[in-house]
Amino acid sequence: MSRDLLITLPALNEASNLPEVLAGLREHWPSAALLVVDDASSDATAAVARAHGALVAVLPFALGYGGAVQTGIKYGLRRGFAVVVTFDADGQHDPADVGPLVEAVRGGADLAIGSRALASGSYRGGIGRRFGRAVFTGLARALTGLRLTDPTSGLKALGPRGQALFAVSRFPDRYPDADALVLARRARLTIAERPARMRPSRNRRSMHGGVGSLAYGLNMLFSLFVAATGRDLHPKE
Amino acid sequence: MPTRQIVVFLGLVLVLLVAILELVRRRVLRVEYSWLWIASCLTTVLLILRYDLLVELTELVGAVVPTSTLFFLCILYLALLCLHYSIRISDLTHQVKDLAQEVALLRVHRSEAAPDDDDASPRVG
């Protein structure tokens, strides 16, 4: 297996979606290493992933989406992969969108993000989420001049410098979100965006809704402030 | 301060002090954490024996009765203690996360070395 491309999939109880998702990735990327990070699932996620030829990192207890993604990135960083792609295990991402992201990183970007907003006809979430995304995108832009269209996208490709930043212990690990991108910007990473179509998640485990969205909003607001004004995070060299 | 009060409270503080020392001796409480509690006990002893210090302090901060000064300081002290623990917990949260990730990465490493050795590892929690 070449040390060129690692595709890592954080997975929580995705045993039913994984066969199709892994098969799709394998078809597009026959030589890539696939790593499923099992966030302490209660179903057969790990066994299914193994049966479909993926490497599996089983977490001893659930860390949540961000902690699981970070586990995969740490693996890629330690093994010296040139490109690490983070890909959702629930089938909402399209393997065909990985190509342009990988190309962007090979072309010099430290971080490439798959954006729903750039893809015509992509699912973009309900009105509440779209509103929230617009607010935080605007804030991130006001704080750092960062022009990005889809900060909550989980589909990303990272070069070595991007991996090193995202692997820092105190890197925000709650969701993929605008605060992470503000930090990437502060660390002077080169950031690119490419269109990506997304389907509505089949396995809904979204935590944004009702009182949750208010808490999420306040948390994100504060997190953005911290990312923009807080102490620098230094990746280990 | 009436003698009866002095005796009662000195007795209580003494019991607490002995309990803390015993906890440290049994290695339940770490030495570096025990200083905080020992210092609190000694401050209490000081205030029991030298009530006039509390009265002076009350005048200094402009409070009306010494009890309010005492309660105010206690609450402030407990709030700071909570803050201290929050910081420790944040620290520990990062450490636990890093350790869990390390475990997961070692499991990948092991399965790469011996692919047939399927994961029979017990799950925590």
Chain A CA closest to residue B95: A169
Q: Is B4 on the interface with A (CB under 8 A)?
A: no
- pLDDT on residue B123: 52
Nearest-by-CA chain A residue for B108: A57
Lowest mean pLDDT among A155-169, A207-221, B7-21: A207-221
- With a cut of 50, say whether residue A204 has pLDDT above it: no
Is it the case that residue A96 has pLDDT exceeding 90? yes
What is the ipTM, given to two decimal places?
A: 0.86
Q: What does the pLDDT look like over A56-70, one tens digit per residue?
A: 999 999 999 999 999
Torsion of CA A198, A5, A137, A66, to 10 degrees: 90
Contacts of A67 in chain B (CB under 8 A): 97, 100-101
Q: How far apart are the first and last CA of chain B?
A: 52
Q: Do B105 and A37 touch (CB under 8 A)?
A: no
Average pLDDT over residues B74-102: 94
What's the whole-model pTM score? 0.83
Q: Which residues of chain A does B108 touch, with a Cβ-Cβ cutoff of 8 Å?
A: 35, 55-57, 75
> Nearest CB to B124: which of A55, A61, A74?
A61
Q: What is the mean pLDDT of residues A195-217?
A: 67
d(CA A135, CA A217) in angstroms, rounded, equals: 10
- pLDDT tens digits for A130-148? 787 788 788 878 877 778 8
Is residue A222 classed as helix, strand or coil in its secondary structure? helix
Q: What is the pLDDT of residue A142?
A: 81
Among candidates A82, A72, A110, A85, which has minimal Cα distance to A186? A110
What is the torsion angle, in degrees rounded to the nearest 10, for the CA atoms of residue B105, residue B107, residue B109 and residue B113? Answer: -170
In the block, tokens 């935590």 appear at: A207
Checking if the pLDDT of A23 tops 60, the result is: yes
| Å between B83 CA and nearest CA of chain A | 18
Residues 6+ apart with CB under 8 A from A76: A6, A8, A35, A84, A158, A163
A231's enclosing H/E stretch is none
CB atoms within 10 A of CB A183: 23
What residue spans define the domains of chain B?
1-49, 65-114
What are the chain A neighbours of B107 within 8 Å (beta carbons)?
Answer: 56-58
B94 touches chain A (CB under 8 A): yes
Please, what is the Cα angle at B106 between B100 and B108, to 5 degrees? 110
Per CB-CB distance under 8 Å, the chain A contacts of B124 are 60-61
How many Cβ contacts (< 8 angstroms) between chains A and B? 59
User: pLDDT, tens digit, for every residue of B7-65?
Assistant: 999 999 999 999 999 999 999 988 888 888 899 899 989 988 898 999 999 999 998 99
Q: Which domains does chain A have, with CATH numbers?
A: 5-229 (3.90.550.10)
pLDDT of residue A211: 63
A114 sits in which H/E element: strand A111-115
Residue A116 clears pLDDT 60, i.e. is over it: yes
Query: Could you give the CA distance from residue B95 to residue A78 in angstroms, rounded to a whole number?
Result: 19
B98-121: per-residue pLDDT in tens? 999 999 999 999 988 876 555 555
Mean pLDDT of A146-164: 90
So what's the pLDDT on residue B125? 47
